[in-house]
Amino acid sequence: MTDTEIKQLDERTVQRIAAGEVVERPASAVKELVENSLDADASRIDVSVEAGGTESIRVRDDGRGMSETDVRAAVREHTTSKIEDVSDLEAGVATLGFRGEALHTIGAVARLAITTKPRGGDGAGTRLTYVDGEVESVEPAGCPEGTSVEVTDLFFNTPARKKYLKTDTTEFTHVNRVVTQYALANPDVAVSLEHDGREVFSTTGRGDLQSTLLSVYGKDVATAMIDVDAEPAVGSEFPEGPLDGISGYVSHPETNRSTREYVSTFINGRYVTSGAAREAIMDAYDGQLGNGRYPFVVLDLSVPAETVDVNVHPRKMEVRFDDEAGFKRQLRTAVEDALLDHGLVRSSAPRGRSAPDETEIDPGSTSTLSDADGGDSEEAGPRAAAESTSTSSDSTSASSSAGSHQSESLESTGTDAQTDNPDSGTNGTQSESTDPPTDRTRTDSTLGSGDSTARSESARASESTTTTDTTHQQSDARSARGGSTGEPTDTADSGATAPASKFTGPHDQETLSGDVATAEPSYDSLPRLRVLGQLHGTYIVAETDDGLVLIDQHAADERVNYERLQEAFAGDTTAQSLAQPVEIELTAGESALFDAYQEALASLGFYANREGRTVSVTTVPTVLDETLAPERLRDVLSSVIDADESAGEQAVESVADGFIADLACYPSITGNTSLQEGSVMDLLERLDDCENPYACPHGRPVVIEIDGEELEDRFERDYPGHSG
Distance CA 613, CA 201 (A): 10
Tens of pLDDT, residue by residue over 584-615, are 999 988 888 888 888 878 877 888 999 888 99
489 Cβ contact list (under 8 Å, min separation 6): 478, 483
Mean pLDDT over 189-197 rounds to: 96
Which of residues 717 and 428 earns the better pLDDT score? 717
User: DSSP assignment of 532-573, as one string?
Assistant: EEEETTTEEEEE-SSEEEEEEHHHHHHHHHHHHHHHHHHSSP
Phi, psi values for residue 389, rounded to 5°: -65, -45
* Residue 661 predicted with pLDDT over 90: no
Q: How confident is the model at residue 379, as a pLDDT?
A: 39
Q: How confident is the model at residue 81, as a pLDDT?
A: 55
**What residue ranges define each of the domains in the chain, with the CATH number in brackets?**
11-202 (3.30.565.10), 224-341 (3.30.230.10), 356-528 (no CATH), 572-665 (3.30.1370.100)
Up-side HSE of residue 14: CA atoms within 13 Å toward CB? 7
Q: How confident is the model at residue 286, as a pLDDT?
A: 82
Tens of pLDDT, residue by residue over 667-711, are 788 888 888 888 898 999 999 999 999 998 888 899 999 988 888
Distance CA 703, CA 1 (A): 65
Phi, psi values for residue 419, rounded to 5°: -75, 125
Distance CA 203, CA 195 (A): 16
Tens of pLDDT, residue by residue over 77-115, are 766 655 555 555 555 545 565 556 788 888 888 999 999
* Residue 663 predicted with pLDDT over 80: no
